[in-house]
Structure formats: C-alpha cells, structure tokens
C-alpha cells in the first residue's frame, strides 16, 4: 500500500555520495579556478546526494496526520507512530544541516584563492557530513524494519460499505463469504498483521459491498486474546460498525450452541462500536434433539437494538442468502456512521 524505497544504511548513503562526487570533472586551463570549481562541485554533489536520499526516505512515509483511523491504529500496532515520527524528524533535521554545511563550504571555497584551503574545506565538509550520517545509523536500521512491517498492511479498498464476519470455527464463515460474493473479483485476500483477511464482494444498485472474513480473530472469546489480537480486532472495528455473527445450531462445526452464544455475548461486550446481524447457518441440516434454539432468542433479546436482524439460512445451498443481502443493503443505507466513508480509495 505504501511504496517505501529500500532504506539505505549510513555507509551505503555515503558510498553513493562519494561515488557521485568522484565522477565530477572540471576543465579549466587555470589551475586555481579549476581547483575551486572542482572542490565546490564535489561538495555540491556529495552533500546533494545525502540531502536527496534523506529527503526521499522522509517523503516516502505517509503523512500520519492525514491517515484514516483504521491505518493509524494498524500502524501503531506494528510500530509506535510517535517513534517513527521522531526518526523522520531527525532525518529531516540532518538533511537541513547538510544543506547549511554545503552552502557555507561552497561560499568559503569561493572566497579563497588558496587551493590547499579549498581542499581542506572540502575535506572538513565531507567529514562533518559523514559523521552526521553515521549518527543516523540506528534510525536508518529502525526505519528499514518499519518498512518491512508496512508491507504487512492491508490495502483493502475500504471505501465500500463493509461488513465483517464473526463466529466459531467451522460454522461456515468462509463458505458464506464465498457464496454471497458475485462481483468481480469474487474474493480477494489481503495480508493483515499476522493473518490474511479474505474479502468477498457483491454489487447492488451500483454500490459494491464488501464482506470481510477474519480468520482466527473473531472466533474466540476476548479474554483469551493477546494484546496484538485485541488491537487487531479493534482495528477491524474501524473498518465498519456492522458485523455478521454466524451460528451453527446443528453442531456440525463440532461445538455446541451454548459456547457459540457466549462468544456472541463476549464480542458484543468487548466491541461496543459494532452491531450484528445474527445468522443461524446450515438450515439445510436438522438440528439435533436436545438443542434448545430458544437460547438464540434469549441472546437476540438481550442484544436489543444491537441485533440488527436475525436470519436463518444455508450458506452451502444458498437458501436465505438473498434475504441476507437485502438485509445488509437496508442496514447499510440506514447506517448513519458509515465508517468506510472516512476512507480514501488511495493514499
Ligand atoms: N450442510 C452445510 N454445511 C455447511 C454450510 N455452510 C458451511 N458448511 C460446511 O461447514 C464446514 C466449515 O465451513 P467453513 O466455511 O470453512 O467454516 P469457517 O471455519 O467458519 O470458515 C465446511 O465443510 C462447509 O462446507 C451450510 O449451510 N450447510
Ligand atoms: Mg474459514
């Protein structure tokens, strides 16, 4: 998503600057003028390369203040934004100091008539700039690591109305995302912290809706989460305020209904900004005797207005998928917050 160039190390930046300054050639019959032009030009190209390289690194990072909260929260999860900002500030500061040394040295070389003094001033400038660049070594190393982490950021086209899917393992979340998706591409994967998000798409009345499967994130109780997972879930809630919670009352998923409902209650409590469409999946299968589906009604009642709709359907046979789509469209049209509208399609 963010195209950040390879972050060079101190020595690599200096090598590049050195190579450039060694290529400088001056022809002037007058020895003194030749030395003057040569030294000025060497300083100019050496400092110039350092300046432009540092500037390139600083500009390559996104301006954090203008990013949508979803990305701020994700980036913060990968690496503290404050630290990145401080480092970029130091790089920028060094760039400016290098510019000052360059101007001053060129002026000193212009004003003297002694070739030895010209040489001396050039060497001094190279030395000072080099030690300033060496001082950035740790910062450059850190930025290189940040760059690697940024590669993990998803580039979800977040401007579409978005729904995230939650529910126990094997209740049919992936199947639901696949079956409901009709647009082109049907589904796409995006890296997301340590996982991959699978995103499905369908179009209704020229609006594209996206439904996000979040493997491993919204399928376990919140108290069993580590910090990273909790933050990743919070980042997800910045994508949208509407989720679909999938239940499998048939037990084919390998889990009874009761813990599935407990998960729903736990998510409702831990993710206060998100309301849910509750789905009872696998309606093509019989519900075994002894399963008390009135527990679903109880939880739906308990959820009050945070249950946006309750539907029974079968992801695999397709029964009920159209009602789900209609329900999503109505809910999204009534949705006043529309978090996805805070997103640009491109950064
Ligand atoms: N009979 C039936 N099986 C389903 C239905 N939905 C999903 N499955 C099956 O349940 C299993 C788990 O589905 P999957 O989508 O991988 O679950 P996930 O772990 O929640 O993503 C798969 O074998 C699916 O084919 C359904 O509506 N009816
Ligand atoms: Mg799955």
- Residue ranges of the chain assigned to CATH 3.40.50.300: 162-342
Indicate if ligand 1 lies below 6 Å from the C-beta of 284. yes
d(CA 329, CA 145): 41
| Residues 210 and 244: beta-carbon distance below 8 Å | no
Each residue's pLDDT tens digit, 29-80: 999 999 999 999 999 999 999 999 999 999 988 778 777 666 777 777 778 8
Residue 207 Cα to ligand 2 midpoint, Å, equals 26
pTM: predicted TM-score of the whole model, two decimal places: 0.66
- Residue ranges of the chain assigned to CATH 1.20.120.1190: 10-150
Q: Domain 10-150 is in which class?
A: mainly alpha
User: Which among 283, 316, 321, 324 is the best mutation to test ligand 1's pocket, defined by most ligand atoms within 8 Å of the CB?
Assistant: 316
Could you tell me the two tokens for 222? 């919140």
**Residue 127, Cα to own-chain centre: how many angstroms?**
39
Indicate if ligand 1 lies below 6 Å from the C-beta of 195. no
Indicate if ligand 1 lies below 6 Å from the C-beta of 215. no
280 DSSP assignment: E
| Residues 249 and 280: beta-carbon distance below 8 Å | yes
CATH of 162-342, one of 3.30.300.180, 3.40.50.740, 3.90.228.20, 3.40.50.300: 3.40.50.300
Residue 170 Cα to ligand 2 midpoint, Å, equals 7
Tokens 């309750």 locate to 310
Mean pLDDT of successive 10-residue stretches along the chain, which has 347 residues? 85 98 93 95 98 95 75 77 93 98 98 96 98 98 89 67 91 95 84 74 93 79 70 73 95 94 89 92 96 96 96 97 97 84 51
Q: Whose CA is nearest to atom 28 of ligand 1?
A: 282
| Residues 54 and 91: beta-carbon distance below 8 Å | yes
d(CA 216, CA 145): 26
> Smallest Cα–Cα separation from 340: which of 188, 178, 189, 212?
212
Tokens 């022809």 locate to 27
Cβ burial of 206 (10 Å; 0-12, 13-18, 19+) is: exposed
d(CA 347, CA 67): 8
d(CA 203, CA 180): 10
Given the CA of residue 317, which atom of ligand 1 is nearest to it? 27
SS3 208: strand
Indicate if ligand 1 lies below 6 Å from the C-beta of 314. yes
Residue 278 Cα to ligand 2 midpoint, Å, equals 17
């Amino acid at each position: 998503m963010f195209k950040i160039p390879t972050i060079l190390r101190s020595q690599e930046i200096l090598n590049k600057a050195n190579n450039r300054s060694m290529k400088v050639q001056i022809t002037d019959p007058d020895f003194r003028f030749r030395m003057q032009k040569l030294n000025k030009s060497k300083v100019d190209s050496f400092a110039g390369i350092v300046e432009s390289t540092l500037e390139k690194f600083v500009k390559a990072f996104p301006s954090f203040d203008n990013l949508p909260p979803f990305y701020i929260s994700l980036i913060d999860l990968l690496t503290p934004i404050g630290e990145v900002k401080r480092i970029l500030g130091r790089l920028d500061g060094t760039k400016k100091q290098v510019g000052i040394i360059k101007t001053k040295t060129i002026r000193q070389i212009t004003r003297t008539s002694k070739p030895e003094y010209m040489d001396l001033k050039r060497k001094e400038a190279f030395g000072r700039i080099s030690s300033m660049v060496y001082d950035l070594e740790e910062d450059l190393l850190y930025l290189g690591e940040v760059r690697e982490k940024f590669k993990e950021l998803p580039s979800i086209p977040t401007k579409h109305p978005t729904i995230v899917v939650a529910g126990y393992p094997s209740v049919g979340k992936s199947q639901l995302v696949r079956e409901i998706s009709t647009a082109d591409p049907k589904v796409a994967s995006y890296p997301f912290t340590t996982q991959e998000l699978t995103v499905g798409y369908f179009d209704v009345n020229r609006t594209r809706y996206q439904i996000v499967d979040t493997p491993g994130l919204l399928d376990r109780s919140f108290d069993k989460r580590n910090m990273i997972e909790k933050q990743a879930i919070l980042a997800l809630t910045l994508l949208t305020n509407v989720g679909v919670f999938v239940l499998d009352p048939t037990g084919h998923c390998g889990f009874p209904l009761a813990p599935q409902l407990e998960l729903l209650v736990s998510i409702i409590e831990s993710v206060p900004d998100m309301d849910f469409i509750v789905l009872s999946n696998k309606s093509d299968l019989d519900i075994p005797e002894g399963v008390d589906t009135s527990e679903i009604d109880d939880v739906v009642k308990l959820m009050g207005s945070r249950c946006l709709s309750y539907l029974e359907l079968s992801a695999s046979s397709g029964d009920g998928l159209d009602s789900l789509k209609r329900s999503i469209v109505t809910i999204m049209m009534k949705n006043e917050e529309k978090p996805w509208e805070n997103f640009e399609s491109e950064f």
